[in-house]
């Protein structure tokens, strides 16, 4: 039997957690239910959870440094992204010497990568890894956290290469800004799908991996706010058709199919997947106040008519 040092165990558990997350995300997507994270994975016969009721979490197998940090939708702490684009992560409580804060400070000093879970809707978390603690402000009771790419983690050997140079700082700032954008997109998707009871508003398909939150007005537009009323839950086929103005939705929630598509003959997918949608009413969300904004639909419908 091999007796591993605490440092070796830390490295092996951390890399196993990264590998488990990679496989889980590849199969099911990067928004993960809390119960799956709390259950975690098995490591040499022992269960390793990835989260706990505390935001800063160290499983029992690790001796000193936490494995993950969590931001919840309704938690007591106000985590946010600073002007520099990096995450401002709150201390546990107000005591800089609390063991959880000491653990994160050790992660910073030893350049140990962590996992960051951000709740996009209650009970569902976007997983970001690796992240590094790169700053500590006892006065503000905040740590500064930057995301990085797994390509810069030495496989099988931690800590990662960590140079305080301009190139690495710029890379991490860029990746962390992209994390903020992902949080924005995934939050919108989860809120829209939940409102539509996780089904396509056109065809009732319920396979989550095949569903998208389609913007009525693009998020790049000044009116394209990430509100549920600016979204429709659609399967990937109908999302693409909606974006390409093959189908449109009138302000009275009735679907129209473009005239040239109605007269085209191209097999059962066109007939049953698109043509038969014409003049049908979309499924509306619950509660009704989350239904698509009629003014935004009117604007988008005019684009559809112009395309026809």
In three-state form (DSSP H/G/I as H, E/B as E, the rest C), the secondary structure along 46-76 is EEECCCCCCCEECCCCCCCCCCEEEECCCCC
Condensed to tens digits (0 to 9), the pLDDT of residues 111-151 reads 999 999 999 988 999 999 999 999 999 999 999 999 988 88
Domain ranges of the chain: 6-192, 197-307
Q: Are 234 and 214 in contact (CB under 8 A)?
A: yes
Given a contact cutoff of 8 angstroms between Cβ atoms, the answer to whether 114 and 67 are in contact is: yes
What distance in Å separates the CA atoms of residue 175 and residue 194, rounded to the nearest whole number? 28
Phi and psi at residue 70, to the nearest 5°: -135, 140
What pLDDT is attached to residue 85?
Answer: 83
Model confidence at 182, pLDDT cuts 50, 70, 90, reads confident
User: How far is CA 4 from each of CA 27, 114, 118, 300, rounded to the nearest angstrom?
Assistant: 32, 21, 32, 62
* Average pLDDT score over residue span 16-26: 94
- Three-class secondary structure of residue 271 per DSSP: helix
Structure tokens at 164: 């305080």
Position 212 pLDDT exceeds 70: yes
Helices (H), 157-230: 166-195
Residue 165 has a pLDDT of 63
Q: Return the pLDDT at 158.
A: 65
On the CB side of 165, CA atoms within 13 Å amount to: 5
Q: Is the pLDDT of residue 209 over 50?
A: yes
Q: Tell me the C-alpha distance between 134 and 241, whole Å.
A: 44
The three-state secondary structure class of 214 is strand
d(CA 132, CA 107): 8
Mean pLDDT of all residues in 212-226: 86
* pTM for the predicted model, two decimal places: 0.80
Taking 80 as the threshold, does the pLDDT of residue 4 lie above it? no
Assess whether pLDDT exceeds 70 at residue 7: yes
Q: Which one, of 39, 206, 65, lies nearest residue 130 by Cα?
A: 65
Task: Look at residue 46 and tell me whether its pLDDT is greater than 60.
Answer: yes
Quick check: 155 pLDDT over 90? no
Q: What is the mean pLDDT of the chain?
A: 90
pLDDT at site 25: 92
- The pLDDT of residue 33: 93
- pLDDT tens for 64-77 read 999 999 998 776 66
pLDDT range class, residue 21, cuts 50, 70, 90? very high
Residue 293 pLDDT more than 90?
A: yes
pLDDT band at 8 (very low <50, low <70, confident <90, very high): confident
DSSP string, 175-188: HHHHHHHHHHHHHH
Predicted confidence (pLDDT) at residue 156 exceeds the cutoff of 70: no
On the question of pLDDT at 59 being above 80, the answer is yes
| Average pLDDT of the residues in 12-39 | 93
Q: Which residue has the tokens 């389609």?
A: 214
Tens of pLDDT, residue by residue over 258-271, are 999 888 887 788 88
What per-residue confidence (pLDDT) applies to 1?
Answer: 41
Confidence band (pLDDT; 50, 70, 90) for 157? low
């Amino acid at each position: 039997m091999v007796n591993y040092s605490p440092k070796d165990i830390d490295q092996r558990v951390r890399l196993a957690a990264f590998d488990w997350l990679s496989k889980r995300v590849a199969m099911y997507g990067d928004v993960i239910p809390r119960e799956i994270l709390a259950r975690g994975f098995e490591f040499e016969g022992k269960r390793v959870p990835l989260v706990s009721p505390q935001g800063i979490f160290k499983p029992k197998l690790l001796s000193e440094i936490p494995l993950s940090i969590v931001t919840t939708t309704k938690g007591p702490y106000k985590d946010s992204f600073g002007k520099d684009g990096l995450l401002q992560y709150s201390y546990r409580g107000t005591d800089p010497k609390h063991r959880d804060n000491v653990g994160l400070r050790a992660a910073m000093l030893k350049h140990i990568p962590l996992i960051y879970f951000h709740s996009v809707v209650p009970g569902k978390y976007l997983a970001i890894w690796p992240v590094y603690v790169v700053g500590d402000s006892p006065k503000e009771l905040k740590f500064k956290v930057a995301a990085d790419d797994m390509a810069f983690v030495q496989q099988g050997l931690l800590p990662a290469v960590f140079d305080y140079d301009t190139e690495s700082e710029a890379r991490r700032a860029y990746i962390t800004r992209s994390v903020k954008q992902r949080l924005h997109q995934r939050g919108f998707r989860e809120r829209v799908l939940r409102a539509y009871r996780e089904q396509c508003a056109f065809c009732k398909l319920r396979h989550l991996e095949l569903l998208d939150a389609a913007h009525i007005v693009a998020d790049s537009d000044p009116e394209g706010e990430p509100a549920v009323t600016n979204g429709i839950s659609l399967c990937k086929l109908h999302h693409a058709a909606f974006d390409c103005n093959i189908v449109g939705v009138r302000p009275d929630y009735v679907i129209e199919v473009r005239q040239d598509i109605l007269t085209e003959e191209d097999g059962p997918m066109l007939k049953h997947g698109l043509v038969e949608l014409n003049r049908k009413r979309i499924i509306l969300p619950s509660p009704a106040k989350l239904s698509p904004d009629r003014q935004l639909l009117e604007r988008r419908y005019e684009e559809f008519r112009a395309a026809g």
